[in-house]
């Protein structure tokens, strides 16, 4: 029996007056407006390239487009908020102009970037730091009245590899998310999506443990985003590279769906949408 029956998991979010139903899992397509993100296929710094990728992802079935202008791969170069904003805004404006119905999530930990992006037409803030790297983030999201993706991470992208140490991994991640959600809720932010932060201050075995225990996060009664697409935890396990990790990604996305994921954040939308369709066929044909 699904734990959603016990915990009454919240499965809708309000996106500028549009109610998005997460009862059926949704797919979020990743577009990186950076020259150095870990997977080369996701790098679309030119406006025309980003627009073409947006069109492809929407046609392939993406519900959300996640735009990132700051590389958060381990050891990535730290760029200024101004440079991040300058990369983001022209693409957001172009997407608004060409794909007005597209729902844009902005991958940033900076409140000023989040505000500029939402004012330009973005809809959701996806913060890898859970508000830790900018104390103004929570109050800014509350004022903007947009959904917020709350992710677990320790340290910064520059030093998080050294932070991958835990006494009780699951409890530490769960407590972090619970405390942060309490603070968000106190500010009037009710549309919160949680993300355990696979690969962020976590070794591969940590990430696999969290995948196994994904259902236990339902105690927070919040929708869950899983972002494991082409990550090291996959390509190291199968002995390949990020470029060759699509099959492993699809396999792990399917396991995440079976364990309660509501949103898959991916580089390859078509394959993720197909995984959702097969998962739903299995669930609909249960006795």
Q: What is the CATH number of the domain that holds 51?
A: 3.20.20.20
Q: Is 182 part of a structural domain of the chain?
A: yes
In which domain, by residue range, is 9 found?
4-280
Question: What integer pLDDT is reported at residue 156 of this predicted model?
Answer: 72
Q: Is 251 part of a structural domain of the chain?
A: yes
Tell me the mean pLDDT in the region 250-255.
97
Question: What integer pLDDT is reported at residue 2 of this predicted model?
Answer: 47
Question: What integer pLDDT is reported at residue 287 of this predicted model?
Answer: 55
Please name the residues in contact with 280: beta carbons below 8 A apart, sequence gap of 6 or more: 24, 25
Residue 117 has pLDDT above 90, yes or no: yes
Q: Is 286 part of a structural domain of the chain?
A: no
CB count, 10 Å around CB of 150? Answer: 28
- 145 three-class SS: coil
Tell me phi and psi for residue 127, to 5 degrees: -110, 110
> Which DSSP string corresponds to 159-186?
TGGGG---SSHHHHHHHHHHHHHHHHHH
Q: Is 248 part of a structural domain of the chain?
A: yes
Catalytic residue among 185, 265, 270, 277: 265
Is there a catalytic annotation at residue 265? yes
148-151 and 192-195 beta bridge pairing: parallel
- 66 three-class SS: strand
Q: Is 107 part of a structural domain of the chain?
A: yes
Q: Is 66 part of a structural domain of the chain?
A: yes
Residue 243 has pLDDT above 80, yes or no: yes
Question: What integer pLDDT is reported at residue 147 of this predicted model?
Answer: 98
Q: Tell me how many domains the chain contains.
A: 1
What is the tens place of the pLDDT at every residue in 173-222?
999 999 999 999 999 999 999 999 998 889 999 999 999 999 999 999 99
The candidate with the shortest Cα–Cα distance to 28, out of 220, 275, 272, 274, is 272
Catalytic residue among 231, 232, 270, 277: 231
Tell me the mean pLDDT in the region 52-57.
95
Q: Which two tokens stand for residue 188?
A: 């009037």
Is there a catalytic annotation at residue 24? no
- What's the mean pLDDT when you consider all of the chain? 91
């Amino acid at each position: 029996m699904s734990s959603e029956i016990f915990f009454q998991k919240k499965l809708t979010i309000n996106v500028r007056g549009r109610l998005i139903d997460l009862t059926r899992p949704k797919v979020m397509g990743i577009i990186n407006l950076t020259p150095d993100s870990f997977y080369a296929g996701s790098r679309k710094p030119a406006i025309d390239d980003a627009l073409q990728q947006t069109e492809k992802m929407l046609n392939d079935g993406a519900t959300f487009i996640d735009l990132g202008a700051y590389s958060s791969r381990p050891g990535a170069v730290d760029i200024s908020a101004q440079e991040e904003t300058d990369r983001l805004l022209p693409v957001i404006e172009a997407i608004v102009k060409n794909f007005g119905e597209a729902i844009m999530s902005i991958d940033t930990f900076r409140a000023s970037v989040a505000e500029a992006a939402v004012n330009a037409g973005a809809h959701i803030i996806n913060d890898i730091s859970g508000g830790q790297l900018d104390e103004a983030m929570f109050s800014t999201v509350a004022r903007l009245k947009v959904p917020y993706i709350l992710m677990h991470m320790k340290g910064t992208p520059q030093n998080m590899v050294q932070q991958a140490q835990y006494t009780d991994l699951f409890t530490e991640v769960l407590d972090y998310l619970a405390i942060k959600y309490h603070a968000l809720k106190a500010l009037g932010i009710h549309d919160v999506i949680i993300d355990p932060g696979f690969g962020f201050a976590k070794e591969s075995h940590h990430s696999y443990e969290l995948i196994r225990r994904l259902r236990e996060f339902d105690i927070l009664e919040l929708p869950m985003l899983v972002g494991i697409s082409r990550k090291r935890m996959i390509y190291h396990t199968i002995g390949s590279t990020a470029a060759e990790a699509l099959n492993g990604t699809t396999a792990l996305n399917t396991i995440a769906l079976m364990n309660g994921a509501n949103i898959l954040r991916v580089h390859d939308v078509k394959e993720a949408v197909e995984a959702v369709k097969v998962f739903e066929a299995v669930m609909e044909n249960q006795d």
